[in-house]
Structure 1
Amino acid sequence: MPQHPNRRTVIKNVLTGTAAITTAGMFSPLAASAAATTSAQKLKGNINHSVCHWCFNGLSLEELCVAAKDMGITGIDLIGPQGWPVLKKHGLESAMCNGAEISLTEGWNDPKYHATLIKNYTDMIPRVAKAGYKNLICFSGNRNGMDDATGLKNCAEGLKKVLPLAEKHKVVLVMELLNSKVNHKDYMCDHTAWGVELAKATGSENFKLLYDIYHMQIDEGDVIRTIKDSHPYIAHYHTAGVPGRHEIDETQELNYPAIMRAIKETGFKGFVAQEFIPAQPDKLASLREAIKICDV
């Protein structure tokens, strides 16, 4: 299995919304895209497609936008204010904004971070709204010996300090579900049921979950039933192949067309973002295939 960047190691770059490293000697993404098709990929329109830039860090944000537009993708995930002008230039949405969080490990479950988080989100929420976007990511943080009930209580208390502002600006704070078995040891929001209970505890429609299909397959499985049962609390989805976080094709264990059909049947109108790390040399071909697989 080829070595690839860990999401945690690139989060500092992602926070700024740039994470744009153009590597000399790599394939030409624009040439590859042009060779693949001469017009935008025709999609069915039932799924709003996005892609996470950090997974394609051999491409500049500009290059990814050009390729994404050609594939019928309408959003880019995990982009902060510095990257928004590039997205706007290409008519793409910042489907999941970032830039207010501290880190994946330092989050709302620990009151010692609340002052910083409240300031960060108070500053960022109006900026997201002014740019015309809706979703802003957040994280629970790691347990560090804390029990789940206490962490849930702490998260709810902290989030309630900023949710009235989010409601005013029609911005949704979206907490990501991450696995604590393989990739993010000790992360607290690692099961859908815990996230749903937190959403209920906030008492706000402006707090929801990012259901990462890859992560939840690892930690809890039962993906389709969970999506059907919990969909009112889910604002966004991420994909990747299990195991390995690579392509979502026949090389891995999840049946993505069936999962996408289940998402569609819930009436979901948000974004499904590709967050796999390509293992194949032609990364854009892998992305194009993933969009076809998910376009039900």
Structure 2
Amino acid sequence: MARFSANLSMLFTERSFLDRFGAAARAGFRGVEYLGPYGFPAAEIAARLRDFGLAQVLFNLPMGDMTKGERGIACLPDRVDEFRAGVAQAVQYARALGCPTVNCLAGNPTQHTKMAEARRTLVENLRYAADRLGEAGVQMVMEPLNRYDNPGYFVTHSGRALDIIDETGSTNIKLQYDIYHMQRMEGDLAATIERLLPRIGHIQIAGNPGRHEPSVGEINFRFLIERLDALGYDGWVGAEYSPRGRTEDGLGWFSTYRAKNEG
């Protein structure tokens, strides 16, 4: 049965970051994820996880400067040393927090980067990161993002992501399948999930359009979650959306799943 985690970079943002852990636990989530833990000492985060009985599910490798539009640096040939330093940092945090999975965002090539060079750099960086994380017992995933919210992003489809993963030759890289992003880029969600499920290491959800609560919009999440359960998926499903108001006021969609997870 799928288990649900709260993405604290988007949910409960009415509170300070460290206070979001307790809010997630009180709302019934069993795990948490977020963009990155790097702005806080690992010991402080570990204490919050322990105090509220939460699992640290996932975080990203360092992503560069998001205020400048960066969404990862793994495909940038002139930032390989920075990428590798970020891998070392992620390994330290993953060990301290007991985090089983770390996500890599490919990034946006600059206007001066040749696409072949960007792909070669990404493949080499993924292989390096997967090896280092694997030595620490951590699964690595890579996430395609939609091009509408993330113009210029290098990996925008699940098929392209898997082709790149295959090129690395690594056995420690899976796909992070964000249903919101892939609805915008591909559609055909149920069939794609069923076909790719053995290669999916983490799933995230949000409604479309708007990236709001899963109960809002065109995607039938009840059907998809029931399908995941029928297929035997027992991994995490991350709630990664922008609440239309106060987070707790929009959690009606979660009530059924909360009861199942607690039962």
TM-score (norm 1): 0.75
Partner AA of 2:33 in structure 1? D
Partner AA of 1:60 in structure 2? S
Q: What's the secondary structure of 1:136's corresponding residue?
A: strand
1:80 touches 1:99 (CA, 8 Å); kept in 2? no
2:2 touches 2:229 (CA, 8 Å); kept in 1? yes
1:124 aligns with 2:87: no
**What corresponds to 1:22 in structure 2?**
none
Q: CA deviation at 1:134?
A: 1.1
**What corresponds to 2:8 in structure 1?**
53
Alignment of 1:55-94 (within 5 A): 55=10, 56-78=12-34, 79-80=36-37, 82=40, 83-94=45-56
CA distance in 1, matches of 2:74, 2:87: 11
CA distance in 2, matches of 1:267, 1:284: 29
Q: CA deviation at 1:141?
A: 0.6
1:195 aligns with 2:195: no
CA distance in 2, matches of 1:152, 1:268: 31
TM-score (norm 2): 0.84
CA deviations over 1:201-245 (Å, ceiling 9, x no partner): 222232122211111111111111111111222211111110011
1:199 touches 1:233 (CA, 8 Å); kept in 2? no
1:111 touches 1:158 (CA, 8 Å); kept in 2? no
1:98 aligns with 2:60: yes
RMSD (Å), alpha carbons: 2.3
**What corresponds to 1:262 in structure 2?**
227
Query: Gaps (5+ residues) in structure 2?
Result: none
Partner AA of 2:20 in structure 1? L
Partner AA of 2:25 in structure 1? K
2:208 touches 2:217 (CA, 8 Å); kept in 1? yes
CA deviations over 1:237-289 (Å, ceiling 9, x no partner): 1111100111221x410000111123223332221111111114x420313x2
**What corresponds to 1:285 in structure 2?**
249
Structure with the larger RCO, 1 or 2 (CA within 8 Å, 6+ apart)? 2
Q: What's the secondary structure of 1:160's corresponding residue?
A: helix
Change in CA separation of 1:105 and 1:283 when aligned onto 2, cut-off 3 Å: closer
CA distance in 2, matches of 1:73, 1:226: 27
CA distance in 1, matches of 2:257, 2:78: 41
1:244 aligns with 2:206: no
1:228 aligns with 2:194: yes
Match of 1:107 among 60, 68, 73: 73
CA distance in 2, matches of 1:67, 1:224: 31
2:27 touches 2:248 (CA, 8 Å); kept in 1? no
CA distance in 1, matches of 2:237, 2:14: 22
Alignment of 1:134-283 (within 5 A): 134-144=100-110, 150-181=117-148, 183-249=149-215, 251-280=216-245, 282-283=246-247
Q: CA deviation at 1:166?
A: 1.5
**What corresponds to 1:43 in structure 2?**
none
Query: Gaps (5+ residues) in structure 1?
Result: 1-45
